[in-house]
Amino acid sequence: MNAPLFPSILISCPCSDNVGQQRSRRSKTAAADPDLDQWEEEGETFDPRSPRSAFSLFPLENLLFCEDCNQVRCPRCVQDEIACYFCPSCLFEVPSSTVKSEGNRCTRNCFSCPICFAALAVTATGEDQTGPFILLCAHCLWSTSDIGITFEKPTSITAQLTAKLKAASLPPSNSLAPPESSHSRPLSPLSQGSSVYNFRPNSPIPPPAPTDEAEFARLKGYYHQQNTIASSDDFGGAGSLSRLMGMYSTGRRIGSYGTGNMPKLVKQKQEWQEIESYRVMDSEDEVIEKMKKAGFYGATSQSQRIIQSHQPRLLEDVRPLAALLRTKRAKRCRSCRHILVKPEQKVGSIRYRIRLVAGLDHNAVNYFSLQPLATHQFLLTVTNPLYDVINITLATPEKTPGKYPATVYILCPEFEVGASTDVWDEALGPEAKPKAKAAKGRKTGLAGTIWDSGRNWTSVILEIVPPHLPDDVELEEDDFIVKVPILVRSVYESDVDKDDGIGKDIKEKKEHSYWSVLEVGRIGKKVAGKVGFDDSASAGTGVAVNKALPPTPSGEPREREHRDREHRSSSRSHRESAGAAR
3-state class (DSSP) for residue 192: helix
Burial category of 291 from C-beta neighbours within 10 Å (exposed 0-12, middle 13-18, buried 19 and up) = middle
Site membership for Zn ion, residue 379 (CB under 5 A): no
Length of the chain: 582
Burial category of 492 from C-beta neighbours within 10 Å (exposed 0-12, middle 13-18, buried 19 and up) = buried
Nearer to another protein, 355 or 376 (CB): 355
CB atoms near residue 9 (< 10 Å): 23
Q: Which of 23, 25, 28, 139 binds another protein (CB under 8 A)?
A: 139
Quote the radius of gyration of the chain (alpha carbons, Å): 33
Q: Which of 336, 496, 531, 549 binds Zn ion (CB under 5 A)?
A: 336
Site membership for another protein, residue 365 (CB under 8 A): no
Residues 383-406 as b/e (b if ≥16 CB within 10 A, e otherwise) read bbbbebbbebebebbeebbbebeb
Q: Which does 553 bind (CB under 5 to 8 A by kind): Zn ion, another protein, none?
A: another protein
How near is the Cβ of 54 to Zn ion at its closest, in Å? 13
If you ran DSSP here, which 8-state letter would residue 365 be given?
B
Nearer to Zn ion, 89 or 453 (CB): 89
Site membership for another protein, residue 86 (CB under 8 A): yes
Site membership for Zn ion, residue 333 (CB under 5 A): yes
Site membership for another protein, residue 362 (CB under 8 A): yes
Site membership for another protein, residue 580 (CB under 8 A): no
At 379, the amino acid letter reads L
In the chain, the largest separation of any two C-alpha atoms, in whole Å, equals: 98
Q: Which of residues 390-419 bind another protein (CB under 8 A)?
A: none
Whether the CB-CB separation of 567 and 491 falls below 8 Å is answered with: no
Q: Which of residues 101-140 bind Zn ion (CB under 5 A)?
A: 106, 108, 110, 113, 115-116, 118, 137, 139-140
Nearer to another protein, 272 or 387 (CB): 387
Report the alpha-carbon distance of residue 66 to residue 581 in Å, rounded. 20
Site membership for another protein, residue 352 (CB under 8 A): yes
How near is the Cβ of 90 to Zn ion at its closest, in Å? 3
How near is the Cβ of 99 to another protein at its closest, in Å? 17
At 224, the amino acid letter reads H
Q: Which of 82, 116, 167, 288 binds another protein (CB under 8 A)?
A: 116
Q: Which of residues 498-557 bind another protein (CB under 8 A)?
A: 549-555
Q: Concatenate the DSSP letters of all residues of 121-163 into one string.
A: EEEE-SGGG-S-EEEEETTT--BGGGGT--BSSSS-HHHHHHH
Q: Which of 21, 45, 62, 79 binds another protein (CB under 8 A)?
A: 62
Q: Concatenate the DSSP letters of all residues of 230-246 into one string.
A: HHTSTT-STTHHHHHHH
How near is the Cβ of 513 to Zn ion at its closest, in Å? 15
Report the alpha-carbon distance of residue 462 to residue 395 in Å, rounded. 11
Nearer to another protein, 288 or 578 (CB): 578
Site membership for Zn ion, residue 214 (CB under 5 A): no
Site membership for another protein, residue 90 (CB under 8 A): yes
Phi, psi (rounded to 5 degrees) for 481: -90, 130
Whether the CB-CB separation of 521 and 369 falls below 8 Å is answered with: yes
How near is the Cβ of 327 to Zn ion at its closest, in Å? 14
How near is the Cβ of 149 to another protein at its closest, in Å? 19
Report the alpha-carbon distance of residue 54 to residue 12 in Å, rounded. 9
How near is the Cβ of 479 to Zn ion at its closest, in Å? 28
Q: Which of 4, 23, 25, 61 binds another protein (CB under 8 A)?
A: 61
CB atoms near residue 203 (< 10 Å): 11
- What lies within 8 Å, CB to CB, of 368 at 6+ separation is 6, 7, 520, 521, 522, 544, 545, 546
Q: Which of 119, 147, 217, 395 binds another protein (CB under 8 A)?
A: 119
Nearest to 137 by CA among 129, 127, 146: 146
Nearer to another protein, 280 or 549 (CB): 549
# chain residues binding another protein, by CB under 8 A: 51
Nearer to another protein, 249 or 554 (CB): 554
CB atoms near residue 14 (< 10 Å): 21
How near is the Cβ of 155 to another protein at its closest, in Å? 17
534: left (phi over 0), alpha (psi -120 to 50) or beta: beta
How near is the Cβ of 361 to another protein at its closest, in Å? 7
Burial category of 145 from C-beta neighbours within 10 Å (exposed 0-12, middle 13-18, buried 19 and up) = middle
If you ran DSSP here, which 8-state letter would residue 471 be given?
S
Nearer to another protein, 307 or 419 (CB): 307
Nearer to another protein, 135 or 265 (CB): 135
Q: Which of residues 4-43 bind another protein (CB under 8 A)?
A: none
Whether the CB-CB separation of 318 and 146 falls below 8 Å is answered with: no
- What lies within 8 Å, CB to CB, of 239 at 6+ separation is none
Site membership for another protein, residue 429 (CB under 8 A): no
| Helices 212-231 and 157-169, axial angle in degrees (round to 10) | 120
Q: Which of 67, 213, 479, 561 binds another protein (CB under 8 A)?
A: 561
Q: Which of 64, 161, 262, 365 binds another protein (CB under 8 A)?
A: 64
Contact residues toward another protein (CB under 8 A) are 1-2, 60-62, 64, 86, 88-91, 112-113, 116-119, 121, 128-129, 137-140, 326, 331, 341, 343, 347-350, 352, 355, 357, 359-362, 549-555, 558, 560-561, 581-582
Contact residues toward Zn ion (CB under 5 A) are 13, 15, 66, 68-69, 74, 76-77, 87, 89-90, 106, 108, 110, 113, 115-116, 118, 137, 139-140, 142, 333, 335-336
